[in-house]
Chains A and B, each alone.
Chain A
Amino acid sequence: MKSDPANIANGATLELRDVTKFYGQFKAVDGLSFSLQSGSICGFLGPNGAGKTTTIRMILEIIKPSSGAVTVLGHCSALQVRHRLGYLPEEKGLYKKMKAWAIIAYFASLKGLDRKTARKRAYELLERYGLKDFADKPTDALSKGMGQKVQVLASIAHDPELVILDEPFSGLDPVNQQVMEEIIRDMAKRHRTVLFSTHVMQHAERLCDRILLIAGGRKIFDGTIPEARSLLPRRVRIETEDDITPLRQLSDVASISCVEKSDASANINGTHCWDLELRESADAHAILQTCFAQRIRLRSFSQSDPTLHEVFVSLVGAQAREVTIR
């Protein structure tokens, strides 16, 4: 069993170094490097086909990288520490005729729990997350959401140190999405490390300490949520019927664009909405003062940071360059 003491000492639960994966001639992952600190929640983002699932499979040693190195919990092989890992794949499925508790207990026993403990743990988890009444039902009698919850519980029943969840929110209703968020937060509270992929940026914004964004198999962004937001300029939105030419002269304003309103009430009073992109050092109060000084009558004025969704679209949509903060 090989381990890397440097990583353990650094608190890195997971580290990828220049990992590349080819499928024939196709390069699915291209020189990917990142590391995860112990006890963190990391959102693994990227458009479809970005290489997320391939990366996850390489981390878990389900497939082997063409080149590069993966270190998991201080070991160069995930199989050596498989009982300390939890995994929920993107495409979910269960044995149809097995009972909910039996599936959870089976996967827990494959992760090293003895059969008695695994069974006890399965019932505990099902009770805690509202599935007590379905514990003895075969999984084909459960709804899709329930089945997915069972699978999530199966992936964490052995209390893993590193949990990798591939699209854990897909297919869940809003209530169950909240339950899923609760499960992830519970794990983080117990200093477990969570890496999850999602296409819903709100989940990442709410849960993640940091995000890793990849596209075309390459890393586009790796950092915290504020760092991600800071990649795009801050923005002020105003609504007025007056001429805004004076604002265009301001050095704090990088650009102005008119916002097309989609609802029927748009421009009913002859007003227009404008988005003002601010420079990095700009002060929104100065914009407001200029409006007053130039007698620009405002119907609304709002300042907002860019959303993760906007960052995502901006970085991926524009074939973004690799940006590394740190």
Chain B
Amino acid sequence: MRYAFLVAWREYAENAKTKGFWLGIFVMPLILFLSIQVPVWLEQKATPIRYYVLVDQSGSLAPIVEARLESLHQQKVLEALNDYARKYSRPPAFVGAASHLGEFSEANPLSAAAFMSKGGKRYFLEQLKPQLKENAPDFQEPRRLFQPVHLPTAISAEAPLATLAQELKPYFRGEKQLEANGQQVLLSAAILIPRDLENLIIRPRPPSSHREADPAPRLNTENIQATNHPLAASKPGLGGPPGPTHQIQYWSANASDSRLRDEIEHAINAEIRQREYLARGLDSAAIHEVERTFILFASLNPKKAAGKETVSQTDTIRQWLPSAFVYLLWLAIFVVIQMLLNNTIEEKSNRIIEVLLSSVTPGELMMGKLFGIAAIGLTMVGAWVAALFGILSWKSGGASEIAGNLLSVVQGSSLVPLFAVYFFFGYLMYAAFILSIGSVCNTIKEAQSYMSLLTVIMMVPLLTMTFIPKDPNGPLARLLSWIPIYTPFTMMNRAAADPPMIDLIGTLFLLLVVTATALWMAGKIFRIGILRTGQPPRLVEMLRWATRKDA
């Protein structure tokens, strides 16, 4: 055992010095960190400000559009304030439902309206001030993503829409620039609202004439789009789509970012409907109230304790987190067995193996390699899990609420210990295949054909990874659980679904038996193959070695 330990220690120490090991240690936490941080960062810093021109010849819709965009911005401000409060208030849960800022904790239009009506940012910060930590920095308001700019003086707002559009095109193309806040900026969008709104409104026809209300096609003019809403597609009583001059025109050279268009369209149509209610003598306030009426819809899970059956975000995380662990498990096993393969082939091709075998038995050598590389794998996975906890703990105290839920699920479940068990046995079983392959191949190239086969076999858990959580105790999940090469991945994936005890114990027992058998057979192949030179044997021949009594 002492010799196996010495071999294991060398494997560990030497692999721990390689760049691949340290890359493996840092890349996964980095990916995790970036996947949480980058979207936030992109939203805060990298999203460009869109400058738009609003020409409202009708004279009645511009304030509606501006109010809508202001409300949107205030929602962002409220979100940022909530994050700021979570991070810098004492206690951190200050903004919880119990506090008088609790009504703003959800960043939706209703709380944004309440927030704005009470004074917005200034009110929030005043309320928060007594609870702020001493070292809290000043609050940084998010940038306005959509900023209005004035129409250039050379262009008349009263000109026909077609003329306006034509005169604005150089600003879209970058040939000319607009001035905003003392800077030259590129025009992102222009919203042109015609004078006669009444002619633009499309009202539903009697059922018999519905077929004529087809959406109008979008028009492209030198990459600049004039987009028409279906409701603005045709005039009442007229067949076929009208020209763009009979619609509200949204001009933009960027077709992929439709947020501004959607917001404005939503605001204008809401206003148009309000006017319709009034025109038809309906009580718009009552309708507004009716529109805000809803029934709460609860998702409940019968497997949860009485009184706690409601499905929360934490439950969703609990259902899907095992999939993340499956991916981690797959990646860990794949990376570690690659190390084992490279290492075995290096010793064989360098003929170091012969010196080793004069000092240790093949069994000791194999054990040493297996456990040395396993220790490398466990260190790597341990670092990943530690980083996972670290990053989640850090982020859960601040900007990311989901990180807090993730942390509570990871801490409150058996996912981590199960991961350790399945990693260990999964690794040992796949390592048995790898040692057999490595012992008969002189170069990595020779090992490729065997490895391609193993990689194909190992793809199955990845392909079924997202399906199994949807039906964790279904026939496919149960079938794959009882195939030992897939047991670690499938059972890991089913971990949140309380699989039957027979599946849990039975598959683990089968996995143990198969792993032990695979290692025993690998030992025989290793002993014969490791000193062999020339072409690698066929699989059938390797199987013959493994089952030979005298081997």
List residues of chain A with CB under 8 Å of any chain B CB: 57, 60, 62-63, 78-79, 82, 85, 87-89, 91-98, 106-107, 109-111, 151, 154-155
- Report whether B358 and A85 are in contact in the complex, using a CB–CB cutoff of 8 Å: yes
A82-B359 contact in complex given A93-B351, A95-B346, C-beta closer than 8 Å: yes
B355: chain A residues within 8 A (beta carbon): 87-89, 107, 151, 154-155
- Report whether A93 and B358 are in contact in the complex, using a CB–CB cutoff of 8 Å: no
Contact of A95 (CB < 8 Å), options: B3, B7, B14, B361: B14
- Report whether A79 and B361 are in contact in the complex, using a CB–CB cutoff of 8 Å: yes
Asked if B18 is an interface residue, CB under 8 A from chain A, the answer is yes
- Report whether A111 and B359 are in contact in the complex, using a CB–CB cutoff of 8 Å: yes
Contact of B358 (CB < 8 Å), options: A60, A94, A95: A60
- Report whether A98 and B352 are in contact in the complex, using a CB–CB cutoff of 8 Å: no
User: What is the predominant secondary structure among interface residues of chain B facing chain A?
Assistant: helix
Chain B residue at smallest Cβ distance from A110: B359
Contact of B14 (CB < 8 Å), options: A88, A98, A155: A98
Chain A residue at smallest Cβ distance from B3: A110
- Report whether A62 and B14 are in contact in the complex, using a CB–CB cutoff of 8 Å: no
Pairs across A and B, CB under 8 Å, 30 listed: A60-B357, A60-B358, A62-B531, A63-B531, A79-B361, A82-B359, A82-B360, A87-B355, A87-B358, A88-B355, A89-B354, A89-B355, A91-B351, A91-B354, A92-B351, A93-B349, A93-B350, A93-B351, A93-B352, A94-B352, A95-B14, A95-B346, A95-B347, A95-B350, A96-B346, A106-B6, A107-B359, A110-B3, A110-B359, A111-B359
For the complex formed, measure the closest distance between the CB of A2 and the CB atoms of chain B, giving whole angstroms.
17
A89: chain B residues within 8 A (beta carbon): 351, 354-355, 358
Asked if B311 is an interface residue, CB under 8 A from chain A, the answer is no
A106: chain B residues within 8 A (beta carbon): 6, 10
- Report whether A62 and B354 are in contact in the complex, using a CB–CB cutoff of 8 Å: yes
B18: chain A residues within 8 A (beta carbon): 97
Residues of B1-46 contacting chain A, CB below 8 A: 3, 6-7, 10, 14, 17-18
B350: chain A residues within 8 A (beta carbon): 93-96
A155: chain B residues within 8 A (beta carbon): 355
A98 vs B351: C-alpha distance when bound (angstroms): 15
**What is the number of contacts between chain A and chain B, taking CB atoms within 8 Å?**
58
A82: chain B residues within 8 A (beta carbon): 358-360
For the complex formed, measure the closest distance between the CB of A115 and the CB atoms of chain B, giving whole angstroms.
9
**Residue in B17, B350, B354, B358 whose Cβ sees the most chain A Cβ within 10 Å:** B358
Chain A residue at smallest Cβ distance from B343: A95
B346: chain A residues within 8 A (beta carbon): 95-96
**Residue in B359, B361, B531 whose Cβ sees the most chain A Cβ within 10 Å:** B359
Chain A residue at smallest Cβ distance from B528: A63
A62 vs B355: C-alpha distance when bound (angstroms): 9
A60: chain B residues within 8 A (beta carbon): 357-358
Chain B residue at smallest Cβ distance from A138: B17
A111: chain B residues within 8 A (beta carbon): 359
A147 vs B421: C-alpha distance when bound (angstroms): 42
Give 8 nearest A-B pairs by CB, closest first: A93-B350, A91-B351, A110-B359, A87-B358, A89-B354, A93-B351, A60-B358, A62-B357
B413-452 vs A, Cβ < 8 Å mask (1 yes, 0 no): 0000000000000000000000000000000000000000
Chain A residue at smallest Cβ distance from B2: A112
Asked if B356 is an interface residue, CB under 8 A from chain A, the answer is yes
A107: chain B residues within 8 A (beta carbon): 355, 359
- Report whether A110 and B360 are in contact in the complex, using a CB–CB cutoff of 8 Å: yes
A88: chain B residues within 8 A (beta carbon): 355
For the complex formed, measure the closest distance between the CB of B513 and the CB atoms of chain A, giving whole angstroms.
29
Given A62-B354, A97-B14, A110-B7, 17 additional A-B pairs, CB 8 A: A62-B358, A79-B361, A87-B354, A88-B355, A89-B354, A89-B358, A92-B351, A93-B350, A95-B14, A95-B346, A96-B346, A96-B350, A97-B18, A98-B14, A110-B356, A111-B359, A154-B355
B361: chain A residues within 8 A (beta carbon): 79
**Residue in B6, B14, B354 whose Cβ sees the most chain A Cβ within 10 Å:** B354
Chain B residue at smallest Cβ distance from A64: B550
For the complex formed, measure the closest distance between the CB of A146 and the CB atoms of chain B, giving whole angstroms.
16
B345-385 vs A, Cβ < 8 Å mask (1 yes, 0 no): 01101111011111111000000000000000000000000
Chain B residue at smallest Cβ distance from A88: B355
A94: chain B residues within 8 A (beta carbon): 350, 352
For the complex formed, measure the closest distance between the CB of B283 and the CB atoms of chain A, giving whole angstroms.
82
A89 vs B348: C-alpha distance when bound (angstroms): 13
